[in-house]
Chain A
Amino acid sequence: MTAAVEIDHLTVQFGLFTAVKDVSLQIRQGEFFSFLGPSGCGKTTILRTISGFQDPSKGIIRIGGQDMQGIGPNQRPTALIFQNLALFPLMTVAENIGYGLRVRGVPKADRDRKVDELLNLIALSDQGNKKIEELSGGQKQRVAIARALAVEPKVLLLDEPLSALDLKLRQHMRNELRAIQRRVGVTFIYITHDQGEALTMSDRIAVMNRGHIEQVGNGRDVYENPETAFVAAFVGENNGFTGMVTRVADGLATVETALGTFNGVNRKSLAVGAKATLFVRPELMRFDGEGENIIDGHAADAAYEGITTHLTMKAKDSSSVVATIAGATAKAFPESGSSVRFAFTSRDATVLPA
């Protein structure tokens, strides 16, 4: 089977600035694929290149096996959901949804049927005559999705469409987006800087940084087995200790850092003498002191969040180390200023090139 979207050695330059550097990637048919990265990492540029608003400086985009060079955005089998949704405020909900069909010259009767079908899908059946202004934030989201789906695109591109919503609604819309994607089976390409969104919705995630891809994998891979220091630091919370590798044995590496000598899994097979960062997730950091690797310092803060509590320790070089523990056990955390000891097992730490 051909890939839904194939990005082949894509480079995009704006004058002297290179927004996307030699990116190659295949996105499968029917997949929910996310690009995750901080702002300015080039993810939006990739999206605009796929949709045809931006020309590649080098490289090829193929959609359904077909080279898109020279094909305008209005002739590509893609539909884009804009960050601000870009619904047409002077048209009704139904007119918005039917717009793509109208400009394709679909007869009115067929158009109406399709619009009704989509209104049904997004649970707005009786609201086709409303103006966009009359809708709630969530309803606008759904209309934007329906408008994009109306033209039966092979690929739906979403440019952080949830960023304008309230937290609660945003979480709800994640589920809804995922459900719609499962139902219609269209390939979704989702752009976000919010790792929670990427992790909960995506089949696969590409983590981007400064125009290139750091890692591609499913949510679990990216979170648990980061391949680069950037991914480890960007996806989820992490404690990082940078230093030099002094010993390598049994798949473990010993890293000498400012806070002590720690062992961690040497997943990138670093050699002795390499500069490295050892990462430990806060939820794997233990405050009861059990583990081979030990960090001493002073208690700084206990941020209680109900289910969990984030304990912060000031280490001797005055950097912060965080341990996340179940909410109820937080009571035992000493008062700020008194000495505490954090620890972790070597199997829970990852050593990556710095």
Chain B
Amino acid sequence: MLSSTGHPFIFLLPVLAIAAFWLMAKFEKKEAGLPRRSFFERNGTPVAIYLIVAVAFWAIFMIVLPQLFMVEMSFRPKLPPIEMGGPKDLYTFENYHYFLYGSTTSNAAINWLHLKAFSLTIFASVCAALFNFALSYPLAFYMAQVAKPARVRFLLLLLIAPYWVNEILRAFAFRIIFSSSGLINKTIMAAGLVDQPIDFIGNDIALYTGLGYAYMLMMIFSLYNAIETLDHAQIEAARDLGAPWWHIHAFIVIPFAKPGIASGCTLVFMLSAGSLAAPLVLGGPRSLWFTPILYDRFFQAFNWPQGAAYAFILLLTCVSFVLLVLRLGRLNLGEIAK
């Protein structure tokens, strides 16, 4: 992993992982004094082998190593294939430097375009999360605490249905509505409100509306699951004591649903910030969004190390956001990832 020639090492990793599992099983036996049976005895040899192989392959080859390789690549210079592993293949911060200051040869100016797109992406994603929370909360509360089971089932079906239509088509639907000859422009022009079509796409209204729409389901489900477990008697009791409705929500329901709110916000933020379909379909030529820039590092600039660096920046942002939400809500990961 340290250089392009060191890769045979990675084949040692599954062996190490199996050794680690084996050690864990040993420890478990000693520590608790309870289970006399080892991991293999407990699951039966075939199943135990399946578990170890499957989990090792998934965790190592599909999750950890790809991420490590991407991070490692982000610290490499862009080189033609011939020079890879050669004397010029040294670790460097130039890809991150580029993100902040633009090209190394012109480090006078700051890389305004990318930084602005990046901060706008973060800001808009936070807004999307808050907007979704505000819009979804009443419905989630209604379904979880007020509506009858049959109606809840029907509503759930209604909610899920639009989300099986893929993201691009959902974005496309907004394009039909917002384009210069789309429904809204036709309507307001026919009504004589304007004589020129409004460029909803160029001024990013379409993009933000589409983003607000795209991941609402995640928010509703997270909220619904959390509020559903709240004992209705608590609300009744508060009402009996004369608490006004806003008080009930602010001091009973919302604190109780905190893990759900945190998980909904995290998911919507992550999905919005990492969204590619909405900016591609609904973004205008001058729209600023981070993922298309990232996409272009790979497919237009053909600068993979730089793309990897940008991807890592996005990943770090999402991780920080998760940590921030956990810290703010005083929660642990297990509570929000359900």
Contacts and interface: CB of A to CB of B under 8 A. Distances in A.
Chain A in direct contact with chain B (Cβ < 8 angstroms): yes
Interface string A29-60: 00000000000000000000000001100000
A13 interface: yes
A187 B79 CA distance: 80
Interface of B: prevailing SS: loop
A15 B34 CA distance: 8
B32 A55 contact: no
Contact of B36 (A13, A15, A55): A55
Nearest to A56: B36
B87 interface: no
B262 to A, nearest CB: 36
Contacts of B33: 13-15
Chain B: number of interface residues, binned into ranges? under 10
Contacts of B41: 72
B34 to A, nearest CB: 6
A15 B32 CA distance: 7
Nearest to B36: A55
Interface string A222-244: 00000000000000000000000
Contacts, number: 9
A7 B34 CA distance: 20
Contacts of A15: 32-34
A15 B36 CA distance: 13
A14 B36 CA distance: 11
Nearest to B33: A15
B87 to A, nearest CB: 60
Nearest to A54: B36
A13 B32 CA distance: 11
A13 B36 CA distance: 12
Interface string B30-57: 0011101000010000000000000000
Contacts of A72: 41
Interface in A1-45: 13-15
A103 to B, nearest CB: 13
Contacts of B34: 14-15
Nearest to A15: B33
Nearest to B41: A72
A167 to B, nearest CB: 31
Among B32, B36, B41, residue most surrounded by chain A Cβ atoms (within 10 Å):
B36
Nearest to A17: B33
A72 B41 CA distance: 10
A343 B234 CA distance: 55
Contacts of A13: 33
Nearest to A52: B36
Nearest to A13: B33
Contacts of A54: 36
A19 B105 CA distance: 76
A14 B31 CA distance: 11
A165 B110 CA distance: 77
A72 B33 CA distance: 17
A14 B33 CA distance: 6
B37 to A, nearest CB: 8
Nearest to A16: B33
A14 B32 CA distance: 8
Nearest to A57: B33
Given A13-B33, A15-B32, A15-B34, 6 more contacts: A14-B33, A14-B34, A15-B33, A54-B36, A55-B36, A72-B41
9 contacts: A13-B33, A14-B33, A14-B34, A15-B32, A15-B33, A15-B34, A54-B36, A55-B36, A72-B41
The 3 closest A-B pairs by CB, nearest first: A55-B36, A15-B33, A14-B34
